[in-house]
Structure 1
Amino acid sequence: MSQSTTSQKLSLKQVLIFGGLMVTFSMGIRHGFGLFNLPITMENGWGRETFALTIALQNLIWGAVQPITGALADRYGAFKIMVAGGALYALGLAGMAISTDALNFSLAGGLLIGLAQTATTYSVVYGILGRNVAAEKRVWAMGIAAAAGSFGQFLMIPVEQGLLSSLGANDALLMLALMASLMIPIAFMLREPKAINQHQGNDQTIKQALKEAIRNPSFKLLTLGYFVCGFQVVFIAVHLAPYLKDLSKIYPDVGAPAVATTALALIGLFNIFGTYSAGILGQRFPKRYLLSGIYICRSVAIAAFIWLPLSPVST
């Protein structure tokens, strides 16, 4: 059984503040990529599928590499992984800004940023929380970290739209690269004492853990649920702004950039309260029923958006 030396730990305040900042920057920048869809594809003469493929690659890498990144963080220290992630994030954004062909754009925005997100989001930050926060406060602390990601969406999307409007797509991406580089000094504030990462005994291997998980029906169903969740969220984030722009010829009021920006930012804002509320309700009701209810409500909301007359209010 694995044991950690716990004589020295980061303070609760330190972990929450800087762990929250890490997730805020990483998730916040990510959620605004859809605003760049039309400006970048039109400027370079690409089809929208080029941009969509880049974001799809980014999400595939983010999901597939997270177990590996988590294992590396456990072995070599989360601090080093987050520093590398912050550097890759900045390089990826800068690469997107200077790319003039679809391949380099996809490598920068898909490969580099996908890898960066595995090192600067929940899989690594939750590990730090787990090692430094007392067991009775751990779920609460992870809820705070999850809310920080939603706050990042609420905060960064208007910032990204403002940069787009004032600087243009390429310079806006370069400014975001500078912001992403702030994750490097933030990582230094989450550097754990070496003692906390020392383990004794034999740990379960990744292969053994995956075999155990795959044999569990609940894990399979939960994975499918996350697949649906991710598809819906990313699809809306990437394609909402172009969709509204296309239909602005019929519904002129929805074509302004502020409409898509406000809608995406509000998703982040209400997700803060939704995450907190789900945590409370999950302690009172069976989680499978709660999760089913969330997906049903989301399906109803998306269907209503499609079928109701399009307007800034309905959006």
Structure 2
Amino acid sequence: MSAPPPSPAEAGSNAAPSSAATPAASLSLQQVLLCGAAIVTLSMGIRHGFGLWLTPITVDRGWTREAFSLALAVQNLAWGAAGPMAGMLADRFGAMRVLVGGALLYAAGLALMAVSSTAAGFLGSAGVLIGLAQSGTTYAVVYGVIARQVAPERRSWAMGVAAAAGSFGQFLMVPVENWLIGHTGWQNALFVLSLAACLIIPLAFGLREPAQTRHAGGHHQSIGEALREAFGYRSFQLLMLGYFVCGFQVVFIGVHMPSYLKDHGLSPQVATVALALIGLFNVIGTYAAGTLGQHMPKRYVLSAIYGLRAVAIFIFLQVPLTPWSVYIFSAVMGVLWLSTVPPTNAIVAQIFGVQHMSMLGGFVFFSHQIGSFLGVWLGGKLYDATGSYDIVWWLAIGLGIMALLANLPVREGAIARAARPARAAAA
């Protein structure tokens, strides 16, 4: 995939604040994209298939669906809560160290997930440990490197490539995970994935940034200044609201759709194909969203994605449930699945610059994970209470409409900063 040349207007509109200009890249574009994409492929691909473990684990352990759902809900919440800290550490000390630590936690969490015999132990392994691991091995950390090492006029496209890699990981890993569960048992399958997570470690060394490129830039903010500026800015608040909805929708569907289909008499193979189709078509969607973000306002791209999700879910609930209706819905949702990630992160870099990109991206993603927590937990809670997922499906539609409206007034231009006094700047 080669980046399309930006128009002059586009290059100007996508520039970061001049006081936080991107330094000359010290890592090649190919190296950043290859290593970053491979890391995201592993980290996102492994987690995308967790819904396949719901039935075998709950049946084998005698747990309720709510117990399993709560662990994955905590996983998403821990991922989001640790994201800003992981981003802060990556901005300060480099992404490589954070990625290595995250990979080790990922491997440990998967292994302990396999041997947890109590709901509390499962909550700690599948929930807390893996959630912490994902905060250090996914988009916020990798996108910080992309923002610093890729020129502003290429960022949206480059982020789309990385997100597309994560989507390909979903497409690739779901059939692999289903095969591992069927042929080795659900516990051995988790041990194999634990070893696979360790592959992130050598890839992390490809994203090792020299200190001068991590800290270069004209306008240096403290962490407190950056947080006050971002959280006081209306567009940042609206991006967080939209990302909350994104998390609610995709994690509810990703975790609960296999059981939803099984409850309606469809075979496990239909669910496996559905999750794989989501990953496959999201390769197209995320790349397209990243590319479109270079040529049109990103807020319109985001609003369109959320609106189309609401329409797709509404139609899915109205038509007869058959394997083909599931496959068509999965393909459509796949195009819209992680396609919010490149434009959202590109807007953050465009508004605030790249000095604290991983940290600010982590806070936006925390909002996503609060939505994820509610989506996956309410799915299990309301199913156990009502015997149906219908209420949560309709919540997903209503939230999609809310996110459509929230993203329309987002201002994408670089934030205006007052010139700092010479004495303060020197200090």
Fold similarity call, TM over 0.5: yes
Q: Deviation per CA, 1:30-57: give whole Å up to 9, x if none.
A: 1111111111111111101111111111
Cross-structure match for 1:290: 301
Which of 120, 138, 156 is matched with 1:121 structurally? 138
RMSD: 2.0
Cross-structure match for 2:402: none
Work out the CA distance in 1 between the residues paired with 2:214 and 2:206: 16
Cross-structure match for 1:61: 78
One-letter amino acid of the counterpart of residue 165, structure 1: G
Cross-structure match for 1:20: 37
Q: Name the SS of the counterpart of 1:192 in structure 2.
A: coil
Kept in 1, the 8 Å contact 2:109–2:129? The answer is yes
Q: Deviation per CA, 1:235-266: give whole Å up to 9, x if none.
A: 01110111111221xxxxx22x2211111111
Q: Name the SS of the counterpart of 1:204 in structure 2.
A: coil
Which of 66, 89, 95 is matched with 2:112 structurally? 95
Q: Name the SS of the counterpart of 1:144 in structure 2.
A: helix
One-letter amino acid of the counterpart of residue 189, structure 2: A
Cross-structure match for 1:245: 262
Work out the CA distance in 1 between the residues paired with 2:130 and 2:41: 15
Quickly say closer, same or farther: Cα 1:46–1:11, change in 2 above 3 A: same
**Consecutive unaligned residues in structure 1, runs of 5 or more:** 249-253
Q: Name the SS of the counterpart of 1:314 in structure 2.
A: helix
- The alignment of Structure 1 onto Structure 2 pairs a total of residues equal to 308
Q: Does 1:187 align with 2:196?
A: no
CA-CA distance at 1:14 after TM superposition: 1.4
Q: Does 1:305 align with 2:316?
A: yes
Work out the CA distance in 2 between the residues paired with 1:12 and 1:293: 29
CA-CA distance at 1:194 after TM superposition: 4.1
Quickly say closer, same or farther: Cα 1:211–1:246, change in 2 above 3 A: same
Quickly say closer, same or farther: Cα 1:3–1:310, change in 2 above 3 A: closer
Quickly say closer, same or farther: Cα 1:271–1:4, change in 2 above 3 A: closer
Work out the CA distance in 1 between the residues paired with 2:120 and 2:222: 36
Cross-structure match for 1:108: 125
Work out the CA distance in 2 between the residues paired with 1:20 and 1:194: 22
Kept in 1, the 8 Å contact 2:23–2:217? The answer is no
One-letter amino acid of the counterpart of residue 270, structure 1: F
Q: Name the SS of the counterpart of 2:207 in structure 1.
A: coil
Q: Name the SS of the counterpart of 1:120 in structure 2.
A: coil
- Is the deviation greater in 301-310 or in 224-233? 301-310
CA-CA distance at 1:268 after TM superposition: 1.5
CA-CA distance at 1:174 after TM superposition: 0.6
Cross-structure match for 2:240: 223
One-letter amino acid of the counterpart of residue 90, structure 1: A
Q: Deviation per CA, 1:84-137: give whole Å up to 9, x if none.
A: 000000000001001001111111111111111111111111122223223333
Quickly say closer, same or farther: Cα 1:89–1:288, change in 2 above 3 A: same
Q: Does 1:314 align with 2:331?
A: no
Scaled by the length of structure 1, the TM-score of the pair is 0.91
CA-CA distance at 1:4 after TM superposition: 8.1
Q: Does 1:31 align with 2:48?
A: yes
Work out the CA distance in 2 between the residues paired with 1:158 and 1:132: 34
Q: Does 1:262 align with 2:261?
A: no
Kept in 1, the 8 Å contact 2:110–2:191? The answer is yes
Kept in 1, the 8 Å contact 2:156–2:293? The answer is no
One-letter amino acid of the counterpart of residue 273, structure 1: I
Quickly say closer, same or farther: Cα 1:90–1:220, change in 2 above 3 A: same
Q: Deviation per CA, 1:150-209: give whole Å up to 9, x if none.
A: 111111111111111111111111111011111111112322334433558873233332
Cross-structure match for 1:164: 181
Between the aligned residues of both structures, percent identity stands at 58
Work out the CA distance in 1 between the residues paired with 2:290 and 2:156: 9
Work out the CA distance in 2 between the residues paired with 1:189 and 1:9: 12
